[in-house]
C-alpha cells in the first residue's frame, strides 16, 4: 500500500521536501513520486514502506519540521464525499458564547468555563447550562448582532465551496446556537446545520435555558453517521474537522478526522493536525491543488 505525505507551510520553507525525504530515508521509507499542490505552500510525496508506522513517522517529521502542518495517510480514498465541521474556533474565529457573555458583561467568567469545557475538563451539557443561565435577560437580538459580525477562519469559504463543487455534502454541527449557525451556514454555503436552540421569552429576551436534548459530542457523532447513511456513503468517505473535546467522537469516526488549532484532548484521537495554516490545508490533505480550489460557490 502506498501512502501520501502532505507538507503545508505559510510559506513552505525552501528545502522542506528534501529534509522530509532525508528523514523518511532514515526510517527506511521510500518516496516514489511527488507533486506541488500550491507553489511555495504545499506539496506531497508518494511513499512506500510505511506499514503500521504512521504515528512514529509523523512524530519524527513534526519534531524535525515544527512549523509545518503534516499529514500521512493511505493514498487511496483521500478525496471525501461529506464534510462535517464544528463551528466555533473552527469555521469562525473565537467562541460565540463568549461574545454573548461579553454583551452581558460577564465574558471573563464565561470564557473560563468555555475553555475548560473545550479541554474536556467539564461535562459539556452542564457547562453549557451554567453559561446560558448566566445570560438570562439578555436581549436575543444580541445573538443576531454577533452572528452578523463574525470573523471567518482563513480558508473556510474555500473548503466548503471546493468540496461542494466536487460533489460533497457539507454540514455544520455545533454546540453553539442555531441563530448563529444558520448565518454561518448561509454565508459559507453549508447544506445543513444542527446546533442548540436558545429559549426566548415573550419580551424577546433569553430565558437562561436551551432546548433539550442539547447538541453534545454524541449528537455530533450521531449526526455524522446519519448523514453518511442518508448519502449512502461509508464513514471512511467522510472528513470531520473540529477543535475541542466535544468533537472527539465524530473525529474518531471519520475516514479523515482533523484537529484544527485544537485542544490537546482532540489531538490525542487523530494524527491529522492543522496547527500553523488555514482551512485550505484540509483541501491539500485531500489532494486538491490550487488549480482545483474555488473561493466561492
**What residues does each domain of the chain span?**
1-76
Phi, psi of 152 (to 5 degrees): -95, 145
The pLDDT score that the predictor gives to residue 147 is: 95
Bridge partners, residue 31, by sequence: 47
Does 98 participate in catalysis according to the annotation?
Answer: no
The pLDDT score that the predictor gives to residue 98 is: 87
CATH superfamily assigned to domain 1-76: ACT domain (3.30.70.260)
The pLDDT score that the predictor gives to residue 58 is: 96
**Each residue's pLDDT tens digit in the chain (297 positions)?**
899 999 999 999 999 999 999 999 999 998 999 999 999 999 999 999 999 999 999 999 999 999 999 999 999 999 999 999 999 999 999 999 888 888 888 888 888 888 898 888 988 899 899 999 988 999 999 999 999 999 999 999 999 999 999 999 999 999 999 999 999 999 999 999 999 999 999 999 999 999 999 999 999 999 999 999 999 999 999 999 999 999 999 999 999 999 999 999 999 999 999 999 999 999 999 999 999 999 988
Residue 179 grid coordinates: 441563530
The pLDDT score that the predictor gives to residue 30 is: 84
- Note whether 144 and 163 are within 8 A (CB): no
Does 88 participate in catalysis according to the annotation?
Answer: yes
Instruction: Give residue-wise pLDDT tens across range 199-215.
Output: 999 999 999 999 999 99
Look at residue 85 and give its three-state secondary structure. strand
Active-site hit among 33, 69, 86, 203: 86
The pLDDT score that the predictor gives to residue 103 is: 85
The pLDDT score that the predictor gives to residue 101 is: 85
Active-site hit among 28, 52, 88, 144: 88
What string of DSSP letters covers 205-272? BEEEEE-SS---HHHHHHHHHHHHHHHT--GGGEEEEE-SGGGHHHHHHSSEEEEES--HHHHTT-SE
Give which of 142, 172, 144, 148 is closest to 160, Cα–Cα: 172
What pTM was estimated for this model as a whole? 0.95
Q: Where are the alpha helices (DSSP H) in the chain?
A: 16-26, 54-64, 96-103, 107-118, 124-134, 141-148, 156-165, 178-188, 217-231, 248-253, 264-267, 280-285
- Note whether 98 and 25 are within 8 A (CB): no
Instruction: Give residue-wise pLDDT tens across range 94-108.
Output: 999 888 888 888 888
To 10 degrees, what angle do helices 16-26 and 54-64 make?
140
Amino acid at each position: 500500500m502506498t501512502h501520501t505525505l502532505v507538507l503545508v507551510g505559510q510559506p513552505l520553507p525552501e528545502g522542506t521536501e528534501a529534509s522530509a525525504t532525508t528523514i523518511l530515508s532514515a526510517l527506511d521509507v521510500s518516496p516514489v513520486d511527488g507533486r506541488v499542490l500550491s507553489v511555495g505552500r504545499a506539496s506531497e510525496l508518494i511513499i512506500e514502506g510505511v506499514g503500521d508506522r504512521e504515528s512514529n513517522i509523523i512524530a519524527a517529521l513534526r519534531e524535525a519540521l515544527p512549523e509545518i502542518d503534516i499529514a500521512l495517510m493511505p493514498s487511496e480514498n483521500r478525496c471525501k464525499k461529506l464534510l462535517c465541521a464544528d463551528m466555533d474556533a473552527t469555521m469562525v474565529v473565537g467562541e460565540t458564547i463568549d461574545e454573548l457573555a461579553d454583551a452581558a458583561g460577564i465574558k471573563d467568567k464565561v470564557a473560563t468555563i468555555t475553555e475548560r469545557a473545550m479541554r474536556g475538563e467539564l461535562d459539556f451539557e452542564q457547562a453549557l447550562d451554567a453559561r446560558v443561565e448566566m445570560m438570562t435577560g439578555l436581549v436575543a437580538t444580541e445573538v443576531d448582532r454577533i452572528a452578523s459580525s463574525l470573523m471567518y477562519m482563513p480558508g473556510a469559504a474555500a473548503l466548503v465551496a471546493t468540496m461542494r463543487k466536487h460533489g460533497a455534502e457539507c454540514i455544520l454541527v455545533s454546540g453553539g446556537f442555531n441563530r448563529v449557525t444558520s448565518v454561518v451556514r448561509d454565508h459559507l454555503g453549508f447544506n445543513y446545520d444542527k446546533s442548540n436552540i436558545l429559549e426566548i421569552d415573550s419580551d424577546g429576551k433569553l430565558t437562561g435555558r436551551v432546548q433539550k436534548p442539547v447538541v453534545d459530542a454524541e449528537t455530533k457523532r450521531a449526526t455524522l453517521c446519519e448523514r453518511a447513511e442518508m448519502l449512502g456513503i461509508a464513514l471512511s468517505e467522510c472528513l470531520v474537522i473540529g477543535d475541542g473535546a466535544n468533537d472527539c467522537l465524530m473525529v474518531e469516526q471519520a475516514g479523515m478526522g482533523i484537529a484544527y488549532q485544537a485542544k490537546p484532548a482532540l489531538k490525542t484521537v487523530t494524527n491529522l493536525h492543522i496547527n500553523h495554516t488555514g482551512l485550505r490545508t484540509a483541501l491539500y490533505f485531500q489532494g486538491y491543488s490550487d488549480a482545483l480550489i474555488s473561493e466561492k460557490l
